A = this chain, B = another copy of it.
Amino acid sequence: MLGNFSYHNPTKLYFGEDSLNYLKDELKKYGENVLLVYGGGSIKKNGLYDEITAILKECGKNVAEVPGVMPNPTSDKLNEGVEIARKNKSDFILAVGGGSVCDYSKAVSVSVHCNDDPWEKYFIRFEEPDCKILPVGCVLTMAGTGSEMNGGSVITNHKCKLKIGHVFGEEVMPRFSILNPRYTMTLPKYQMCAGIFDIMSHICEQYFSGEDDNTSDYISEGLMRGLIHSSRIAVKDPKNYEARSNIMWTATWALNTLVSKGKTEDWMVHMLGQAVGAYTDATHGMTLAAVSLPYYRHIMQYGLKKFARFAVEVWGVSPTGKTDEQIANEGLAAMESWMKEIELVMTISELGASDDMIEGIADATTILKGGYKVLSRDEVIKILKESM
């Protein structure tokens, strides 16, 4: 049931090969001190850095840079960015990169004018911002996280071995995001596939929860079917622009709150995956892939009707003459087949997890209550062992 909720997603999206043309129109709306945030060297290799710095210069902006935002951005890096923003009196943050860079920029945006330690305030105490928030804009170079149109920010603290996400409100959502599928096409295939699974997982985290009947589930099924279709094309032909553009657009809509309306939401695959990530620093989407099937096979019986529906509506499993359990199992088998087809990592050992890490990963796994079964610590251990 949809129940009571609000929906507000003020981010303006520019999509397509011409989308960067709109950056200057957007930049005009903000002050002259821009904090340019990016990751490793890829945007310097593919020319995007030069294009963007030229546009910033043309707009008369004073640019301070925060390069080197790593794939799982850390609290130390966050503090570094906050200091640079303060020193340069940044008016606006331009994030150029994937979900990590966008997430990171949102964390900086709520921390610059905040007196408390941001890791403690936002990622341990989960407080909301009570200070001035800097506006953020994104030029997205990788499809998957949905960070370009949501209030989410995930930060890793290596000392505590924690990787924590905070979903901020609409005032922290990017003011605009530029989505050019061509930018996603320079990334390695490994990242493309990890991003594809992140998208699927986002949808599943919302879909496999709560009580049906709900429009959100029908939209989710549509998104998943489109994603499976486009991913099959993309894994064979990563340069297929149509497939990559559909994947990019699906990523945005998978996690901008739309398909969560009326859902209690699960998020345990992400809790497990993030905990694995805190220990191994592995690629986010791959950590999710490695834990998903053991998790879903474990909880399937508690949400049997939904897993049977998933099998029929998303994977085309024929229900005729079968029990719900048979149908549901076939659905997960079809998903497993697809996951291998798109070359995902299927075990956490392959990502660097070792047996002696399991207890620690279990400790780092937050237990959430929105899914079909609230896990005990023993169940977490069992699932992690099955994920090895």
Residues of chain A touching chain B, judged by Cβ–Cβ distance below 8 Å, are 1-19, 22, 213-215, 217-223, 225-226, 229-230, 241-243, 245-246, 249-250, 253, 258, 261
Contacts and interface: CB of A to CB of B under 8 A. Distances in A.
A12 B5 contact: no
A267 to B, nearest CB: 22
A223 B230 contact: no
Given A7-B13, A8-B12, A10-B10, A2 B215 contact: no
A338 to B, nearest CB: 16
A249 B8 CA distance: 14
A224 to B, nearest CB: 8
Q: How many copies does the complex hold?
A: 2
A2 to B, nearest CB: 5
Given A4-B16, A8-B13, A218-B226, 11 more contacts: A2-B16, A4-B15, A5-B16, A6-B22, A213-B243, A215-B223, A215-B226, A215-B253, A218-B222, A219-B222, A222-B223
A309 to B, nearest CB: 12
Nearest to A211: B242
27 contacts: A1-B241, A1-B245, A2-B15, A2-B245, A2-B246, A2-B249, A3-B16, A4-B19, A5-B15, A6-B12, A6-B14, A6-B22, A7-B13, A7-B15, A8-B12, A213-B243, A215-B226, A215-B246, A218-B222, A218-B223, A218-B225, A218-B226, A218-B229, A219-B223, A219-B226, A221-B225, A249-B261
A215 B15 CA distance: 13
A1 B242 contact: yes
A120 B291 CA distance: 62
B246 A214 contact: yes
Contacts of A15: 2, 4-7, 261
A6 B13 contact: yes
Most buried by B among A10, A17, A218, A241: A218
Contacts of A14: 6
A253 to B, nearest CB: 7
